[in-house]
Structure 1
Amino acid sequence: MGQIINGSLVIVGLLLIIVGGVILGIFPTILKQKVSEEMAILKDTDAFDRWKETPVPVYMKYNFFILDNSDNYNSLNDIVLKEKGPYVYKETRIKQNISISLDWEHISYREKKTYEFVPEKSCQKCKEEDYVNVINFPLLGILFNEKFKTFRTTINDTYTKAAKNNTLKPYELEIFLNESVQNILFKGVHYNLMDELNNNLLIPFKLPLLDPNYRINDNYTVLEEEWTINTGKNDLKKLAQIERFDYKTSLINDDMKTYIWNSNPEDVLDSEDCNKLRGTDAELFKPFIDKDDVLYVYEPQICRTVYFKYWKESSVQDIDTYRFRIPQEYYASPLKVKGNMCYCIKERKDNKECDRSCTLDISRCWRRSIGAPIIMSAPYWVNGLHNGEDLRKQVGNKGLTSKLEYNDENFDTYLDIEPLTGITMAAHKRMQMSIEVKGTDSIPLLKKLFDSKANQSYIIPVFWIEEVAEADESQADKFKSMVTNKKKLAIGLSIAAIVLGVILLIIAIVLMYRQRRTGKKIV
């Protein structure tokens, strides 16, 4: 009887170990197959519903660089800027005007974004009606406009004449603009100069009509340009990859002639790559992400593809994720990283502007800058040359300082991605907008610009923004029920079977050992 029991224990133990091992071995394959079936953006699927309406709450945090010595500065050399914010807005996204190809391989849409001010997440006692005194970037953007530089004399003459005729508003005669947050961001600030330029018959039709009501966003409700992406139906590696933006297949302006990034003959290979549409919108990537993957995101705000590399392991709501960030070479000087050369749009590539790190001149991205010398970067130029210290020092005579430590956690852009599904569980996208101007005597009305050092380049920041999106508890629970809990259950049962099998084998061995020592059969 004892031998029968021992034999049964051995057989059952071995079976449990084998079954547990087999499950552990084949479960990843089964799970991958299941994920593969559920991730493509197809009709009547959960993936389509998740894609259509962003389930993760998104918040936009605006931090303005305001003039702190408005009563006693004489030029750009002695301004003092300090940060004020954040002014936080909740952004609600939903995809509209959805058009799907007959084979369900391509899908086109426009995304509707709605903004709502959130006082409890904003700085203490901050209201969107607050006035902030920032560099007058709409005015200076026209006066130093690269796209309209052949008309610059006419523009300056029009400006001077309008001032003499008292048709300009007081803030149109100053290099700093004191205006409310809501007007700068959403409602608009009216510039009579734009009306004057639109009505000036000396300016050729090549100069497009300028919206006199200038603001960063079109309104509290914005309908973005059309995206066309791959659904991943036939190839999950192409899941959510952009194929067209604003009906274009490359980064080209609306004249369909001017590429946004450098297209000089010696750079033709680089320019083709730089002007290529590539990446997703950062909400979703291909499944089965590896640590050595390079992930691409198309960012319409800067008309450029951004790439991310693995940084470290992380977690969001107890969901294991990989943290990917923008690497330092992305911000490097074009003279130091050849692949960045096409992003220096200056006429001469050996000048000092091309040797700057962590600055991106988007003046040739007309849909965003209208030709104004807008400079995009990481906040405080962190990750630039000497970690941006040189650029912070050039702001006024005291430089620019932050209350936060200059590190990647505070100022870099990173994504926390669940590697099995490729879903972004959390995102921190940070970007700073500045304007580049020069001391000049060609605009005598702006005395404080006239008194600045002649032809010296000044990069003056307007604000930096942080886009924060993170899965909340309810969204995390849904994801866990879909993927994580099943994975943990299968692994747990497999390990339990193996452990139980080992225990049964140990019991059988102990019983056999005792039986041999006593020379008796155990009943």
Structure 2
Amino acid sequence: MGPYVYSEKRQKENITFHDNHTVSYREYRRYFFEESMSVGNESDVVTIPNMLVLGASVMMEDMPLPVRLMLSTALTLFKEEAFLTKPVGELMWGYDSKLVDFLNQYLPGMLPTSGKFGLFAEFNNSNTGLFTVFTGKDDIRKVHKVDFWNGLKKVDYWRTEQCNMINGTAGQMWPPFMTTESTLPFYSPDACRSMELVFQRKGKMKGIPLFRFVAPKTLFANGTDYPPNEGFCPCRQSGLLNVSSCRHNSPVFMSHPHFYNADPALLNTVIGLSPSEEEHGLFIDIHPETGVPLNVSIKLQLNLYIKRVLGIIQTDRIAEVVMPMIWFEERGYIDGSVLTTFYNNLVVMPALLEYMQYIFIGLGLLFILVAVHLFLGSRRPSTATVCRKSPMLASCAT
């Protein structure tokens, strides 16, 4: 079902410049439903896996049996089932749950919220952390590169130092003068890790040249298929990023939509998946001379690992599977007056200046030739004709 479209408003606050050519800020984001662009509205009722029940069950799998039985009893008491039917708006931004109140009271810290529970409840009216990035004033190659995030040079979510590194920019621009060998590294607080896109092809958007960068197949590969990703494990099939370590240990996995670029075995567990690059691949189109994004489409899928857990009767008929819950696209592009200004200043003017230099070179050569011709003409010796006449013969000599 869907898509359900929201406009995202971002605003940087607490902007502070520092002596070492860096600037700190917090970027707040708010979402507003755009019914005219959506297929349906927020009152549409859908059924999805109940993340509270199935997620909490997996999290409690290693707890003593009496604790699991207590959880099962509480789920029965609060009439919570393995699947949940709710309006889209409530699933997205939160709904009241007596189970949430119960878990927060008896198992504090298990859930990320003490209020309403929703898939994106913690994103709305929130910020992405305190970023400190380089301005590029002293070195343009460092522009927008992250110096600190929340005062940290690296995170501690993962198992290796390489995976915990905060690399690249904050994801809104990159250093200029790119080549086809360039990459797009950036740190994503939502994914709790740094990521890197690679060059795919050249192109144009409304006459503006661009480089398209896409996610490599190794981005979400497991440690077996791509050893540097071993630090993001424990892993399952390739194509799944285990984000449980930064999501309160909930069994949540991130992937491309429809398990694009993932292990084909994942497609056999869920009916209706049909991955393709056009529909489910992510990309960022960059103007190579400035490092400014022209067109962005970030597509990701949220998946829940579910299974039968002994002692929790709500899971008795649940097979072990990574279940897609929702996939979303964050899209943006330059348009309107900004696009016109960009085109005029970075396409028309450079082209005009390039043509003008050839015109001026041609005129310069023409003037030089004319000057040489006039100069050589002025240096030719003068001539005179003398005639002598006689009665018999007349002759002329030059």
Q: Which TM-score band (shorter chain)?
A: 0.7 to 0.9
Match status 1:194 vs 2:106: no
In the alignment, what sits opposite 2:292?
423
Match for residue 226 of structure 2 among 312, 337, 343? 337
| Displacement of 1:115 | 1.1
Higher relative contact order (CA 8 A, sep 6+): 1
SS at match of 2:30: strand
Match status 1:231 vs 2:128: no
Match status 1:142 vs 2:56: yes
What is the one-letter code of the residue matched to 2:84? L
What CA distance in whole angstroms lies between the structure 2 residues aligned with 1:311 and 1:506? 48
Distance 1:384 1:219, change over 3 A: closer
SS at match of 1:336: coil
* Greater Rg by CA: 2
1:116-131 aligned at under 5 Å gives the runs 116-123=32-39, 126-131=40-45
| Displacement of 1:104 | 5.4
Residues 141 and 176 of structure 2 are in contact (CA less than 8 Å); yes or no, is this contact kept in structure 1? Answer: yes
In the alignment, what sits opposite 1:261?
158
In the alignment, what sits opposite 2:31?
115
The C-alpha deviation readout for 1:69-127, integer Å capped at 9, x for no partner, is xxxxxxxxxxxxxxx111000101110121221x151211111112111122212xx00
| Displacement of 1:357 | 1.2
Residues 435 and 459 of structure 1 are in contact (CA less than 8 Å); yes or no, is this contact kept in structure 2? Answer: yes
What CA distance in whole angstroms lies between the structure 1 residues aligned with 2:317 and 2:56? 20
SS at match of 2:218: helix
Residues 306 and 318 of structure 2 are in contact (CA less than 8 Å); yes or no, is this contact kept in structure 1? Answer: no
| Displacement of 1:340 | 1.2
SS at match of 1:371: coil
| Displacement of 1:329 | 2.1
The CA RMSD measured in Å over matched residues stands at 2.7
| Displacement of 1:249 | 2.3
SS at match of 2:89: helix
1:18-417 aligned at under 5 Å gives the runs 84-101=1-18, 103=19, 105-123=21-39, 126-145=40-59, 151=63, 153=65, 155-163=67-75, 166=77, 168=78, 170=79, 172=80, 174-186=81-93, 188-200=94-106, 203=107, 210-215=113-118, 216-218=120-122, 220-252=124-156, 260-262=157-159, 271-345=160-234, 353=236, 356-365=237-246, 369-385=247-263, 389-395=264-270, 399-402=271-274, 406-417=275-286
Distance 1:234 1:299, change over 3 A: same
Match for residue 326 of structure 2 among 446, 459, 463? 463
What CA distance in whole angstroms lies between the structure 1 residues aligned with 2:198 and 2:66? 47
Residues 319 and 476 of structure 1 are in contact (CA less than 8 Å); yes or no, is this contact kept in structure 2? Answer: no
Residues 58 and 309 of structure 2 are in contact (CA less than 8 Å); yes or no, is this contact kept in structure 1? Answer: no
- Size of the aligned set, in residue pairs, is 373
What is the one-letter code of the residue matched to 1:235? D
SS at match of 1:214: coil
Distance 1:312 1:151, change over 3 A: same
Distance 1:94 1:152, change over 3 A: farther
What is the one-letter code of the residue matched to 1:189? Y
What CA distance in whole angstroms lies between the structure 1 residues aligned with 2:95 and 2:168? 34
| Displacement of 1:229 | 1.3
- Determine what percentage of the aligned residue pairs are the same residue: 25
The C-alpha deviation readout for 1:119-142, integer Å capped at 9, x for no partner, is 22212xx00121111111233222
What CA distance in whole angstroms lies between the structure 1 residues aligned with 2:283 and 2:173? 14
Specify which structure has the higher proportion of helix: 1
What CA distance in whole angstroms lies between the structure 2 residues aligned with 1:285 and 1:495? 32
| Displacement of 1:504 | 8.3
| Displacement of 1:507 | 11
What CA distance in whole angstroms lies between the structure 2 residues aligned with 1:249 and 1:278? 9
In the alignment, what sits opposite 1:15?
none
Specify which structure has the higher proportion of strand: 2
Distance 1:88 1:391, change over 3 A: same
Residues 5 and 33 of structure 2 are in contact (CA less than 8 Å); yes or no, is this contact kept in structure 1? Answer: yes
| Displacement of 1:420 | 0.7
What is the one-letter code of the residue matched to 2:251? P
Instruction: Using the TM superposition, name which of 421-430 and 278-287 deviates more.
Output: 278-287
Residues 143 and 155 of structure 1 are in contact (CA less than 8 Å); yes or no, is this contact kept in structure 2? Answer: no
SS at match of 2:4: strand
Distance 1:137 1:163, change over 3 A: closer
TM-score by length of 1: 0.66
| Displacement of 1:317 | 2.7
| Displacement of 1:503 | 8.0
SS at match of 2:201: strand
In the alignment, what sits opposite 2:358?
495
What CA distance in whole angstroms lies between the structure 2 residues aligned with 1:312 and 1:506? 45
Match for residue 450 of structure 1 among 290, 306, 316? 316
SS at match of 1:401: coil
Distance 1:483 1:381, change over 3 A: same
SS at match of 2:152: coil
Distance 1:217 1:505, change over 3 A: farther
In the alignment, what sits opposite 1:485?
348
What CA distance in whole angstroms lies between the structure 2 residues aligned with 1:303 and 1:358? 17
What CA distance in whole angstroms lies between the structure 1 residues aligned with 2:136 and 2:51? 42
SS at match of 1:441: coil
Distance 1:206 1:479, change over 3 A: closer
TM-score by length of 2: 0.86
Residues 10 and 27 of structure 2 are in contact (CA less than 8 Å); yes or no, is this contact kept in structure 1? Answer: yes
| Displacement of 1:342 | 1.1
What is the one-letter code of the residue matched to 2:273? T
In structure 1, the gaps of 5 or more residues are 1-83, 253-259, 263-270, 347-352, 509-523
What is the one-letter code of the residue matched to 1:89? Y
SS at match of 2:245: coil
